[in-house]
Structure 1
């Protein structure tokens, strides 16, 4: 638990980590900037599960491929305007010297130490590799001074009148050797750098955003007037969390002694309740999706049990009922000639009153995997295979197929409906002439024929951060949450192993979704193998709202590093800034010591 803040100033320590086994905490993860917090400048506690919050971006090649990069020796400092800067040494992905960064250091800026902007490489005008670096603002001269040490142990200083003029540094001058204040912290794998003082407001926000909140209080009305058990059951408890956020909870009331036909005042006890699901919830089911249709809930997922050769669907009156519901086969690789295998990532979406399944399938080998759409006939039963249309390949607005078969694949298509418009977002990977990795695109969709795009695809994200290109360059599995004038598009990255993780794109709901400049990409993942003990490679999320209005994260993960993919469910919380929290586990979400409540019921 983070130490309570009592001072007007708090302290933030930046650091990197020593790499661990490749599948656990590889170089691409360890060589990033991490943050720790302290209320007194002495006792530091890791933020964000002791995982990185700032990663160097990959560089682009002319053929579309990328060169993964990492960073070492980050140095955190304050800018003249009170915001923050970070200088760091950019390296190759494995921490080795980066030829493109020789004689330069990488500059980032941030307003809050949560979201960062990579400005670029500052040319220090030295033909040697930088081994250590620091930067300070000199208020007397109004300039920034960069101190650095080269690979031979020589120390220099450069002066910049304008920090953002990347080529505007003065010639390097010989200087005294760099000396950092010693900072010690008992944090696993820590390679400490420097600590700075920040306002209590900044410190509090970092703690609230980069730690998992816990349930600390429960509020219910002292008295309620009700005429029936149904009216009483509509009363919700308000769970209060350590960061000041709240969430509504249902209550199971023991109201047997209330005579609803006799006016009076009754004291009623109750137990705060929330559904909870042990992990794994459904074994050998990946890329899971739950949707509500005509008052019932349906579950569909990639079937790892038969190597992705079939799609089964489950139905129940409640989400919890899906866990043990029977499965009905609705698609296999024998019914339709073009569908030969690799049935991946099915999603149920209702568009203009009709139900569709978006999924990927191949006409032959892996390199022919393409997005398809199936439509439920009017009045049809989603659990009956014959009531679904033959899968249709997604086409562009000119009628041609979305991807060139055998060269580019498409998969993980989802639907976003906003402001009367319908959009598709999906992952696309070019393999020929070179493999450039999987990128996420968005386009408008024809709601009458939702297998047809009606705008050109627009690139939203490519795997340019180390956590996204860990083992392979992949961004995939987009799915939207729309809440409070924000659209959150979570997506999954890295290899589909224990390094799999969840990133976040954010956009305001009143802007053009097809303008990539409107979107903000988070610097660090929301969910990783470090987030929840015993869950590895968590990702490929979708979301569903239950009958109580609770939003659930439907995801897959592995109960062990080498274990099979399995589905899980966890409530989605929202932090102090309204951003989704995907790692609030049941033990922190609902404190058992706070679930017993009472209320005074007035029957009139």
Structure 2
């Protein structure tokens, strides 16, 4: 029988752990109330559990980002700290729950938990539709932006896009669509590709993402490209036809997804950070069930240099 995974941090979904240039680990995630941006920092992964929780921004009572604050990610880009997040108008103004747009706040403080943060700035993708789950990464001297967004004329809730950035707040190129929900495991209840995260290893750029509804159907997929290819050319990317991580009924580990990547304290191991539930009996909308917990596990690699997220799914 497989070992039951143990949560690292309770009731934190969409977890992001950054190993920053200052040597600290920074943790950001969606809080159950969806009302604020919260940071923790520690010299160790385990230390994040008891680290002080610092609220660096709280949503206003009204306006374009006054509700459902989702999936914040902290990044250190071009000499400053940025938190990218999705926010929606208050439901008294917009009756559709899912009118999110992407925003970012920034600070130049040495310690972002003590810094004075800017007011949110919208990241304009050139497509005025529901969007969320942005991440950034540096490659070849360029800063890239990867996110999920609804595109009119394509069936489903969200697709994956990439663009180069001019600054950490503005795009330099038009959005390029990399993936749409198309396989059976991507379209269970909802047609979704979301939660992208980037890992560079073994001459490749790996892009993980999550698909389907946020209950036990939630699962993770993978795209990858050669590190020397044109990342803005969709043909550079290969998409796995099968999930790389999904529910494990034997372990009561359900709906793993919305991951990020970090490294161990000694720098020897890549770590997979993700959320999952420990039961399926959800009352009402899974969105309001608070018990998506943060898990961290060692990422394994096969002989061809491909990541192994779940040994059950390897041949």
What SS does the aligned partner of 1:390 have? Answer: coil
* Partners of 1:413 and 1:427 within 8 A in 2: yes
Q: Tell me which residue corresponds to 1:465.
A: 183
Q: Tell me which residue corresponds to 2:28.
A: 300
1:486–1:451 Cα change, 3 Å: same
What SS does the aligned partner of 1:312 have? Answer: strand
* Partners of 2:62 and 2:89 within 8 A in 1: no
Equivalent of residue 436 in structure 1, options 156, 161, 184: 156
1:557 aligns with 2:276: yes
Using CA pairs under 8 Å that are at least 6 residues apart, name the structure with larger relative contact order, 1 or 2: 2
Measured after TM superposition, the shift of residue 279 of structure 1 is 2.1
Q: Distance in 2 between matches of 1:518 and 1:375?
A: 32
Q: Distance in 2 between matches of 1:465 and 1:477?
A: 17
Equivalent of residue 219 in structure 2, options 466, 486, 501: 501
Unaligned runs of 5+ in 1: 2-211, 213-275, 397-401, 586-604
What SS does the aligned partner of 1:282 have? Answer: coil
Equivalent of residue 403 in structure 1, options 111, 115, 127: 127
Q: Distance in 1 between matches of 2:280 and 2:14?
A: 18
What SS does the aligned partner of 1:467 have? Answer: helix
Q: Tell me which residue corresponds to 1:347.
A: 73
* Partners of 2:5 and 2:251 within 8 A in 1: no
Measured after TM superposition, the shift of residue 339 of structure 1 is 2.5
Measured after TM superposition, the shift of residue 336 of structure 1 is 8.2
Question: What does residue range 163-202 of structure 1 map to in structure 2 within 5 Å?
Answer: none
Q: Distance in 1 between matches of 2:230 and 2:101?
A: 27
Q: Tell me which residue corresponds to 2:286.
A: none
* Partners of 2:5 and 2:253 within 8 A in 1: no
**What TM-score does the superposition give when structure 2 sets the normalisation length?**
0.88
Q: Tell me which residue corresponds to 1:535.
A: 253
What SS does the aligned partner of 1:343 have? Answer: strand
Unaligned runs of 5+ in 2: 283-290
Measured after TM superposition, the shift of residue 418 of structure 1 is 0.9
Question: What does residue range 310-321 of structure 1 map to in structure 2 within 5 Å?
Answer: 310-321=36-47
1:562–1:331 Cα change, 3 Å: farther
Q: Tell me which residue corresponds to 1:284.
A: 11
Measured after TM superposition, the shift of residue 436 of structure 1 is 3.4
Equivalent of residue 137 in structure 2, options 416, 428, 451: 416
Deviations 1:75-114 (A, max 9, x none): xxxxxxxxxxxxxxxxxxxxxxxxxxxxxxxxxxxxxxxx
Q: Distance in 1 between matches of 2:74 and 2:311?
A: 26
Q: Distance in 2 between matches of 1:438 and 1:486?
A: 25
Question: What does residue range 235-384 of structure 1 map to in structure 2 within 5 Å?
Answer: 279-293=6-20, 294-304=22-32, 306=33, 308-334=34-60, 337-364=63-90, 365=94, 366-377=97-108, 379-384=109-114
What SS does the aligned partner of 2:214 have? Answer: coil
Q: Distance in 1 between matches of 2:137 and 2:61?
A: 30
State how many pairs are aligned. Answer: 297
Q: Distance in 2 between matches of 1:554 and 1:521?
A: 21
Measured after TM superposition, the shift of residue 388 of structure 1 is 1.4
Measured after TM superposition, the shift of residue 349 of structure 1 is 1.4
Q: Distance in 2 between matches of 1:538 and 1:370?
A: 24
Deviations 1:411-454 (A, max 9, x none): 00111211111111100024x688632100111112xx212111
Deviations 1:339-383 (A, max 9, x none): 201111111112222221111111334343111111112x34322
What SS does the aligned partner of 1:387 have? Answer: coil
Deviations 1:374-399 (A, max 9, x none): 1112x343223x62111110024xxx
Q: Distance in 2 between matches of 1:532 and 1:568?
A: 17
RMSD: 2.4
Moved more, 328-337 or 418-427: 328-337
Q: Distance in 2 between matches of 1:326 and 1:467?
A: 38
What SS does the aligned partner of 2:247 have? Answer: coil
Q: Distance in 1 between matches of 2:258 and 2:77?
A: 22
**What TM-score does the superposition give when structure 1 sets the normalisation length?**
0.47
* Partners of 2:9 and 2:295 within 8 A in 1: yes
Q: Distance in 2 between matches of 1:329 and 1:562?
A: 31
What SS does the aligned partner of 1:514 have? Answer: coil
Deviations 1:524-547 (A, max 9, x none): 000000387221000011001122
- Over alpha carbons, which structure has the higher Rg? 1
Measured after TM superposition, the shift of residue 335 of structure 1 is 7.8
1:540–1:336 Cα change, 3 Å: same
Equivalent of residue 580 in structure 1, options 296, 307, 312: 307
What SS does the aligned partner of 1:499 have? Answer: coil
* Partners of 1:277 and 1:570 within 8 A in 2: no
1:531–1:483 Cα change, 3 Å: farther
Q: Tell me which residue corresponds to 1:392.
A: 121
1:519–1:369 Cα change, 3 Å: same
